[in-house]
Structure 1
Amino acid sequence: MVTQLQSPEKATIIYPDDNGEPMSDNTEQFRLIVWIKENLELLFASIADVFVAGNLLWYPVEGNNKIAQAPDVMVAFGRPKGYRGSYQQWNEENIVPQVVFEIWSRGNRLTPMLQKLRFYEQYGIEEYYLYDPATVDLTIWQRREDRLEAVEEVNGWVSPRMGVRFQVSETELQIFKPDGTPFVSFVELAQLREQAELRAEQERQRAEQERQRAEQERQRAEQERQRAEQERQRAQQAETMLEQERSRSQALEARLRDMGIDLNQL
C-alpha cells in the first residue's frame, strides 16, 4: 500500500480569518448588516443545521487562500451552528453558502461589486441580495442553472430558501418572516419584550383583581348563606317552642278535664 504524502506547500497554506477590510464603512451599513444577520439567526435558532454569519471569509477552493469573499451576511443550509474563524468549504462537506447579502455603501466601487457578483455566480450561490440604503434600492439575483439572473419584481419577493418576504417602500427595506411578522432591531425587540412583559403584568394584576372580587363575592355569598341558615334555625327554634307550648297547653287541658274542671265554664 502506497501512502501519498501531503506536499509541503499545501501543508503550510494559511487561510486568514481577516482580509484586512472593515466590516462596514458607516453606521447605517453596520446597522443593516446586524439587523439582517441577527434576525436570520433568530429565525433559524431552532434549526440545528442552518449556519448564519456576518462578514466571515469564505474560501471555496482548498489549497488557494487567494480565492475568498466575506459576504456581509451569508446563510449555509445543511451546516451546523458554531464557531468558525472562516468558512472553508472543503471542511463543510463542500456545501456552498446558498444565500448572501451585501449592503452597498459610499465606499463601494462598481468594479469590486461586479467581481463579487461573478464570484458568487461562479461558486454556486443560489440567492444574492444587494441593497443600497442611500437610494433604497434592492437588487435580487436567483440562480438559474449555472447563472445568477436578476429578479424583475423584488416587492413581495419570497426567498425560496429562507421563506422571508421582501418589501421596499419609499424610505426603507422591510423583511418579513414566514409568519408575516417583520424583522426588528434589537432595540425594537427589547421594547416589544418590555411591552409584552408589561401587558403580562397588567393581565396578572387584572386576574388577581378578578380573583379578589370573586373571593369577596364568595365571602358575601357565604355570609348570606350563613344568615339564611341562622334565620332558618331561628324559625325552626320558634316553631319548636310553639309546638312545645301547644303540647304543654294540651297536656294541661287534659289534666284539668281529668280533674272534672270544664275550661269552658271558667
Structure 2
Amino acid sequence: MRLTVLVPGGSGQLGRDLAALASPSVDVVAPGSAELDVTATGQVLASVGALAERARETGSSPVVINAAAYTAVDAAETDEERAFAINADGPRVLAAACASRRVPLIHVSTDYVFSGDASRPYEPSDQLGPRSAYGRTKAAGEDAVLGSGASSWVVRTGWLYGRSGANFVKTMTALEASRDTLSVVDDQVGGPTWTADLAPGLLELASRAASGNGPAQRILHCTNAGETSWCGFARAIFTHLGADPARVRPCTTEEFPRPARRPAYSVLSPAAWIDAGLTPLRRWEEALDAYFAAG
C-alpha cells in the first residue's frame, strides 16, 4: 500500500527523521512551523485538504503524524498560553480537519503527562497527573484528539534525541568538551529514545491506521526499551565520547532546581504497543551505540 503522510512539525528532530523515511511507497510532506502553523486554523484545514487531494491523485492512502509541539518545558511555566495553543488547540483543529476528510491521525505525546510517582512502567490506561505546564498542555492535546471523532491514536514517548535540534545528547557532548566535571540529576528515571528509532515505529502504526487495521487501543507507548537516570544517560554519552564517565557526578533534583517540575519516574510500558502487533524498539543502550556509530 502506498502512503501519503503529512508531518506537521517537520523541521524538528522527530519530523526530520520521519521525512527521511520517504521512499517510492511513502510520500512524506513535512512542513516546518513557518510553512504550517498548527495554531492557524486556515493553514491546518488547507494542508489536510491538500493532503487528501494529493493522496486521491496518486492513488495512495493519506495519514497525518503530528510531530508539532511546544517542547520548551521550563519556558512553558511562564508561557503556558502559547504552549496550550500549540500543544492542545493545534491538535484539536488538526483532529477536526482529519475527521472531516476521513484521514487517520497519529498524535505524538509525552511521558510528562504522568505524575512520576509510580514504581513500575506506566501503562496507557494509568491515571494522568502532569506536574508542569508542558505536561498539562500535552494532556489537553491528547483529550482533544481522542474526543474529536477522528480515526486517531496517541503515542506517548519521552527523552527524545536526534541529529537535529537541541537535546540532551548534544548538550552533554558540548559540556564534555568545556568542563572537567559536571553534576547531573540521578533521581529522575526514564527511557531515552532515539528519534531515528521512533520514526519507523510511528510509520508502521500509520500504515496500519491507513489500511483500516489500526489497533483497538488508541493510546500507545513507544520508547527505546530499558530505563536509566539522567546521570546514567550522561555517563553513557561520555563513554561514547571516549571520556571518563566518572566526570559526571550524581546530584539530586533538589540540588539542581528548574522552573518546571519533572516526573521522578516516567518509564513507559511497551506492553500495549507489543500487544497491538507493532515492532518493539531496541534497548536504549543499543540505540545510543547506533547514534554514535552513525557519526
Q: Establish whether TM, by shorter chain, passes 0.5.
A: no
**TM-score with structure 2 length normalisation?**
0.31
Give the number of the structure whose alpha-carbon radius of gyration is greater.
1
Q: RCO greater where, 1 or 2, for CA within 8 Å and sep 6 or more?
A: 2
